[in-house]
Structure 1
């Protein structure tokens, strides 16, 4: 059996065609002394908070996995081709308010650091497919190549079957064959001008392994009080965990294997105190700052975690319009910094993501720090994840001035399939 642990894949694609023109907005230079990669991390995290609130409310009773980071990356790439009001609304929703050159340097630094992670497989890639014969402006070509490390490739979208196969092959390659046949030939036609693709792939081993022989069938409780027997993994060891009364939940951090404690990756699981308490947790997530928790001490925990696998496909047109980005989908959209040829608009934006969690892992050194929690920890506490829960995959970065984390993926598990 090929066990894959914590494998997470997100793919988002954007198809753009048809539009008009406006004026360039002025952007002020802020945070000149802020480390480059942190500027974009702050923008992405602010966007994530807004994005998650909309997407998760739209599907309140479903298993869900998504990557707001992937959404932000492809939209930021498209925004460098936008102008006038279109650029203004995109920057507002994406929380981008720095000088354009500062922002470009930040994105470039962020992607380079992101793809240089050790011990875990963490990969972010961008690609742009352009309709054959469409003339792309040199500046947009340069920005996408140097800032986003994205190549531009010409495709004949009139031959939809060939175009579909080409893009699907790229997606499969970037995600270690986890996402196949994402598109169908009828997704493309003569009106398709560009397809912007972003892929985020993650695979990591637990720093503290689960023994496969300890996995037993145990009850998992649903919000309606029905139960199901599911494979429950078991581990006894030291983990960071705490009680957060403002969420009505307990939180535990499960670190992935890493030799670089300043660039660690962890899964954060938020378990409501009550079986039907997940919606309350999700509504109040914006009130909580996990920084001190992630720098805290570890405690002996008797941990029970279900094996689970979730795949989601989300049409993002309505969520992004709700956030204020409806401009990009209308006939007044302005993407004239991409091309001066036919006017363009975004016709479709979809994300498909996948997560699988099981026992695979290996030993690694623990991270220690100052713990700030709301109650005293016993010598050993049981943490049994046996009802609907929320989770993050979080990349942390600690420097001399501050600590920064960025959410790679987030989701909820309401049922074990």
Structure 2
């Protein structure tokens, strides 16, 4: 869930961006689907990896989950009311030369994701505007038309009531999984408006991991320190890739829901995660994702169950990726009465991965090779995710969520 609260230039205000995302279960096989790589996917990719790098570097706890797409969507919506350097910085981050293309791109993404089955994906935007201010028509039109945002008028001075309204909306959109993300202390009585984004995703494996095979095993926090983690097991032919320059191997774990997949990036070295994150921030992850190909042998795959909660101070992160003016300079195209600025922003996200899945589905997309009576299958590839790694969740070529797991 994401909240952006904007004030007048004369006011001290608190602005929040909170993005809650929930993941549960995974699938373990891909249909024979060919994904198309697009310029929009590339721009989201690079911006996402930059945000992940900065989130990872400033985090005390290196278990990190982030939804860069949620941040980028709100920045795109905010830019509808911003001009000059405010807008130029956002365009630069997303790699888009002009504003109209930015609106088209993120408007189309919003259209795509809001049209999906809400049993597994919910994306929603909402603007709460103070009863003391009025949205400019152009900003309001773009927010509702391109970003499907609902606008509601509130009295921010009634902090308890406003917090309850926001929490009710969050609970509805996340099916009760996130019921009280906002406290009345979060609400600033002088706020002009608050922009919210909620992303909720629950995917299922085609072939769930067998919980009976999960067992406690060593996970290397560093080269010499280990902790016990519940390791899930799977023996399948998976989409697989080795990148010697990156210093990592990766596999794809598709969801049953069409087009969704998780990519696990395992550094070759036990202490190699920082270098991998740094390199991906420079070039993105899609080049490797589109180099994934069917393994001709089964993979002995092991991965820990994990549950990560993160809070990110976007005031510290966004300037490091080139977006800073919105915190200091007013945008005149948001409300009629005055220019507004973003005072503070943060993101909160949650991810859970375990063995669970939907009812065992069709074991589709099997990779088939000719066999003869003398054929002997090659030995399986061992892929043990037993040290710090990175992961990304995509829909086709769009990075939705990304994170790191270290302990």
TM-score bucket (shorter structure): 0.7 to 0.9
C-alpha separation in 1, matches of 2:219 and 2:202: 26
Measured after TM superposition, the shift of residue 357 of structure 1 is 0.7
2:3 paired residue among 1, 5, 13: 13
Distance 1:248 1:295, change over 3 A: closer
Do the aligned partners of 1:164 and 1:185 also contact (CA within 8 Å) in 2?
yes
Measured after TM superposition, the shift of residue 128 of structure 1 is 0.5
Q: Which runs of 5+ in 1 are unaligned?
A: 1-10, 21-36, 370-376, 397-404
- Name the SS for the 1:348 alignment partner: coil
C-alpha separation in 2, matches of 1:297 and 1:120: 32
Measured after TM superposition, the shift of residue 298 of structure 1 is 5.7
Distance 1:141 1:281, change over 3 A: same
- Name the SS for the 2:345 alignment partner: strand
How many pairs are equivalent?
Answer: 367
1:312 paired residue among 306, 310, 313: 310
In the alignment, structure 1 residue 279 sits paired with structure 2 residue 274: yes
Measured after TM superposition, the shift of residue 93 of structure 1 is 2.4
Q: Which residue of 2 aligns with 1:113?
A: 112
Distance 1:367 1:44, change over 3 A: farther
In the alignment, structure 1 residue 247 sits paired with structure 2 residue 246: yes
In the alignment, structure 1 residue 218 sits paired with structure 2 residue 236: no
Q: TM-score when scaled to structure 1?
A: 0.82
Measured after TM superposition, the shift of residue 295 of structure 1 is 5.1
Q: Which runs of 5+ in 2 are unaligned?
A: 11-36, 369-376
In the alignment, structure 1 residue 353 sits paired with structure 2 residue 349: yes
Do the aligned partners of 2:240 and 2:293 also contact (CA within 8 Å) in 1?
no
Do the aligned partners of 1:128 and 1:195 also contact (CA within 8 Å) in 2?
yes
Aligned 1:14-413 pairs, distance under 5 A: 14-19=4-9, 40-59=40-59, 62-98=62-98, 100=100, 102-117=101-116, 121-223=120-222, 225-258=224-257, 260=258, 264-285=259-280, 286-287=282-283, 289-294=287-292, 296-297=294-295, 299-330=297-328, 333-361=329-357, 362-363=360-361, 364-366=363-365, 378-396=378-396, 405-413=397-405
- Name the SS for the 2:343 alignment partner: strand
Measured after TM superposition, the shift of residue 318 of structure 1 is 1.1
C-alpha separation in 2, matches of 1:141 and 1:44: 25
Measured after TM superposition, the shift of residue 347 of structure 1 is 1.3
Do the aligned partners of 1:18 and 1:343 also contact (CA within 8 Å) in 2?
yes
- Name the SS for the 1:233 alignment partner: strand
Distance 1:290 1:115, change over 3 A: farther
| Mean CA deviation greater in 67-76 or 244-253 | 244-253
Do the aligned partners of 2:4 and 2:342 also contact (CA within 8 Å) in 1?
yes
> How far does the alpha carbon of each residue in 1:95-131 deviate from its partner, in whole angstroms, 9 at most, with x for none?
232351x443333322222234469712211111101
C-alpha separation in 1, matches of 2:403 and 2:108: 27
Distance 1:355 1:76, change over 3 A: same
Query: What's the C-alpha RMSD, in Å, of the aligned pairs?
Result: 2.4
Do the aligned partners of 1:219 and 1:228 also contact (CA within 8 Å) in 2?
yes
C-alpha separation in 1, matches of 2:41 and 2:252: 20
Instruction: Indicate the structure whose relative CO is greater, using CA pairs within 8 Å and at least 6 residues apart.
Output: 2
Do the aligned partners of 2:241 and 2:293 also contact (CA within 8 Å) in 1?
no
Do the aligned partners of 2:76 and 2:102 also contact (CA within 8 Å) in 1?
no
Do the aligned partners of 1:241 and 1:298 also contact (CA within 8 Å) in 2?
no
C-alpha separation in 2, matches of 1:74 and 1:366: 37
C-alpha separation in 2, matches of 1:89 and 1:51: 14
C-alpha separation in 1, matches of 2:190 and 2:267: 47
- Name the SS for the 2:263 alignment partner: strand
Q: TM-score when scaled to structure 2?
A: 0.84
